[in-house]
Structure 1
Amino acid sequence: MTDPDTSTTQRPSRPTRAEAFRYWLKLGFISFGGAAGQIGMMHEELVERRRWVSENRFLHALNYAMVLPGPEAQQLATYLGWLLHGTFGGLMAGLLFILPSLVLITGLSWVYLAFGDVPAVEAVFYGIKPAVIAIIVYAGWRIGGRVLNNGLLWLMAVAAFLAIFALNIPFPYIIIAAGVLGWLGSRVWPERFRSGESHSASSHKATGPAVVDDDTPPAPWMQFRWSRVIRFLVVGLGLWAAVFGLLLAVFGWDATLTRMGQFFTQTALVTFGGAYAVLPYVYQGGVETYGWLSPTQMIDGLALGEATPGPLIMVVTFVGFIGGWTQAFLGPDQVLLAALLGALVATFFTFLPSFLFILVGAPLVERTRGDLHFTGPLTGITAAVVGVIVNLAVFFTWHVLWPAGFEGSFEWFSALLGIAAFIALARFRVGIIPLILVCAVLGAGYRLLL
């Protein structure tokens, strides 16, 4: 790969497709740290170092990704790839962002099922689980501190928690209600529904001219045309219908893979607020409704998702793999093939809408550059997300600290480890990967020495 232009006055040369391919592939393998870390990596590399995209173009793409359902970091990568090389670039960036994670999680899922009852493996997961709870609590705390800046939003967060915890209201209904309330509230009390976070160009130092700069003439693929919108919708929806129709024809409506296609399509359309917000919905469907995996397995899947690169929503790959394995819909001799099909189906139906949102909507967004901002509905949804995340933390804490129920023993070591992990995150800003590794070592040492 050629070195990026170090001059702050000369415009860098446009990267070739091969150069872009190498960068996006590298990012797919090193994109640890959740959405915030992944967005930070792209900003540092693409805006500050390589100057492939200007600050304002980057932030405009980020704002669009953040008002969409789906994994914002993956959608941002797709958008930036599209800016540089059109449809081919968008598909390349988006796919390479998730493919390494797909391979790693699929392989680790097999190891988990094949060797999960080995004492050493169980001991490692014993230490990782409290770290996962601390990470979830920390995520809720950070989101809450950013968005809950008045009593009305706090009330919405509490109401969302009670709705899912006490009333067992499905997650999509909570999100729809929060969006409607945010839309209404922004018109009655607009000052209470302003987002607590903004992405302004003034917060960053000018880096010099970029390949795709503020005044760069739009490339042909950036032109908004209704014929293009219709073509992409036909191809995208046709691809969805072809795969879902194949599952329906081969396996039937009530089959595991068909239900997965339906469920993970719905998941892709309600993932406002990031992966932590949709995890309760994945739990409700995967554990309670369909019984594809157990609560303990769901926690273990989160641990794998946190410890591997790529968006955390890749936990759906784990859910699909475990569901295919446990349901054994191809017979007892083909459980591995069933698991692989489950992982692929879950991943395909979760991410297909994300690509459509970008490839269909990006030209229109480029035409409105400078006007896009956070809306009242998004603020209301984000407030509700805080309550949903708290519910997730409460549920997982219960299963980790009282694995045999309240009548069983209390896991005091897990409680202490979880508290220490939260302090490490909140006070000392320890990275997620080092935290998980340390907790895994401490938990394994404690269990194996018992």
Structure 2
Amino acid sequence: MEPTYKLKDLIVYFLKLGTIGFGGPVALVGYMHRDLVEKRNWITEEDYKEGLALAQLAPGPLAAQLSIYLGYVHYRVIGATLVGLAFVLPSFLMVLGIGYAYVKAGGLPWMQAVFYGIGAAVIGIIAISSYKLSKKSLGKNWLLWGIAVVVAVATFITEREILWLILAGGIITWLYSASAKSKAKALFISPFLLQITTSITLNEKLSQIGWFFFKAGAFVFGSGLAIVPFLYGGVVKDHQWLGDQQFLDAVAVAMITPGPVVITVGFIGYLVAGFPGACIAALATFLPCYLFTVLPAPYFKKYGKHPAIKAFVDGVTAAAIGAIIGAVFVLGKRQITDVVSAVITVLTIVVLLKFKKVQEPIIIVVAAILGLVLKTWL
């Protein structure tokens, strides 16, 4: 079927969405359906559903992966590449600007006060996001809940994401599934390759950044927030590139900018190694997302609904949700240090539960003002 639009039209659309698209992955994929399927009829309902299914099944941030698939539908690899870049580029440039301002003014009391409020609000936002993800993805499945709880406890105790536990969650669900009769050997090749450790000594920080963020990008299932516990374990605990407060500030930056939440890697890369660090971190994170979309796209119609693949991904998703829940407690333990920060966190949770239409950037701005006023006044 011939496209009813030109590639440049789709690129312009995703540039706009990447510039003003707030609300996180669920909202972004909703905008794509409304605009491209319902209003403009550029993408068929079937193609959209297949793209969404692939984005949920394969590792990669949901919204970014769906955008890449929609670019692939009519314009194949060149369309996937240009559309993916168009969607990610605006928020990447924004986090670069914020990163520059943050480094220049990071030592000023007002900047610290602003991020004091923002950090407390981010804890509340992640808590609500993990709650919604749990309800949507785990349902009433006791096995998935069990996997999530085990991984959450392990993440809280060790203060890092344990990759083999996440893979184990997928394998356990696959083995338990009565309908999963096929071994689906190819399913496990990609994740296990990421466990291979290199014997080469990586002396240069940029090489370390590239390898670390490549692995991070390959384990983001469903929501960009799934990358938070993995990043915390590597960036703060293992490599000690950032402190706890800087890491929370990086997550906050992702919340106040449009586009994919995973773009926080650009801010982290900038803090660690300047502009080159930001570019390498972003490229390395989104490369697996791109490959896991473009490479299986031609075969997805045939194999995407295989019971074994679905069972494995359900287990991995449950484990990823558990890691997010564990990260909420780890980060909360460090951020909520007094009554004021606790009140801001609780208020954030209440607002998000009671007022469904309030978007995260508004809460972040209000929290920043509260932090500035209260810290200055106190």
Corresponding position of 1:378: 313
Corresponding position of 1:400: 335
Query: Does 2:206 match 1:257?
Result: yes
Whole-angstrom distance in 2 between the partners of 1:103 and 1:93: 16
Corresponding position of 1:422: 349
Corresponding position of 1:413: 340
One-letter code aligned to 1:153: L
The partner residue of 2:246 within 283, 290, 297 is 297
Whole-angstrom distance in 2 between the partners of 1:372 and 1:39: 24
1:188 CA drift (Å): 8.0
Corresponding position of 2:87: 97
CA deviations over 1:157-203 (Å, ceiling 9, x no partner): 2211222222567421121111111111213899xxxxxxxxxxxxx
CA deviations over 1:380-428 (Å, ceiling 9, x no partner): 22222232112111111111122xxxxxxxx101111111111111121
Deviates more, 1:14-23 or 1:59-68: 14-23
One-letter code aligned to 1:354: C
CA deviations over 1:249-301 (Å, ceiling 9, x no partner): xxx72221111111111112222242222211111111111111111100000
Whole-angstrom distance in 1 between the partners of 2:246 and 2:285: 20
Query: Does 2:61 match 1:43?
Result: no
Corresponding position of 2:192: none
The partner residue of 2:227 within 278, 281, 305 is 278
Corresponding position of 2:99: 109
The partner residue of 1:145 within 111, 119, 135 is 135
Whole-angstrom distance in 1 between the partners of 2:369 and 2:77: 44
1:47 CA drift (Å): 0.7
Corresponding position of 1:164: 155
One-letter code aligned to 2:350: I
1:305 CA drift (Å): 0.4
Runs of 4+ in 1 over 6 A off after TM superposition: 369-374
Whole-angstrom distance in 2 between the partners of 1:256 and 1:166: 28
1:367 CA drift (Å): 4.7
Contact 2:179 2:308 (C-alpha < 8 Å) held by counterparts: no
Change (3 A) 1:92 1:320: same
Question: Please, which runs of 5 or more residues in structure 2 have no aligned partner?
Answer: 182-199
Change (3 A) 1:277 1:119: same
Q: Which structure's residues are more often helix, by fraction?
A: 2
Query: Does 2:110 match 1:120?
Result: yes
Query: Does 2:51 match 1:61?
Result: yes
Contact 2:174 2:308 (C-alpha < 8 Å) held by counterparts: no
CA RMSD of aligned residues (A): 2.3
Question: Please, which runs of 5 or more residues in structure 1 have no aligned partner?
Answer: 1-10, 191-247, 325-338, 403-410
1:34 CA drift (Å): 1.0
Whole-angstrom distance in 2 between the partners of 1:369 and 1:160: 27
Corresponding position of 2:190: none
Contact 1:28 1:96 (C-alpha < 8 Å) held by counterparts: yes
The partner residue of 2:326 within 360, 367, 391 is 391
1:148 CA drift (Å): 4.1
1:17 CA drift (Å): 2.4
Whole-angstrom distance in 2 between the partners of 1:369 and 1:189: 14
Contact 2:155 2:327 (C-alpha < 8 Å) held by counterparts: no
1:371 CA drift (Å): 6.7
Amino-acid identity (%):
32
Corresponding position of 1:241: none
CA deviations over 1:90-138 (Å, ceiling 9, x no partner): 1111001111111110110111111022222222212111110011100
Whole-angstrom distance in 2 between the partners of 1:369 and 1:381: 16
Give the number of the structure whose alpha-carbon radius of gyration is greater: 1
1:12 CA drift (Å): 11
Query: Does 2:294 match 1:359?
Result: yes
Whole-angstrom distance in 2 between the partners of 1:374 and 1:433: 36
Corresponding position of 1:184: 175
Contact 1:63 1:374 (C-alpha < 8 Å) held by counterparts: no
TM-score, structure 1 as length reference: 0.75
Deviates more, 1:339-348 or 1:358-367: 358-367
One-letter code aligned to 1:93: V
Change (3 A) 1:358 1:153: closer
1:315 CA drift (Å): 1.2
Whole-angstrom distance in 1 between the partners of 2:66 and 2:271: 29
TM-score, structure 2 as length reference: 0.89
Count of residues paired in the alignment: 358
Contact 2:160 2:230 (C-alpha < 8 Å) held by counterparts: no
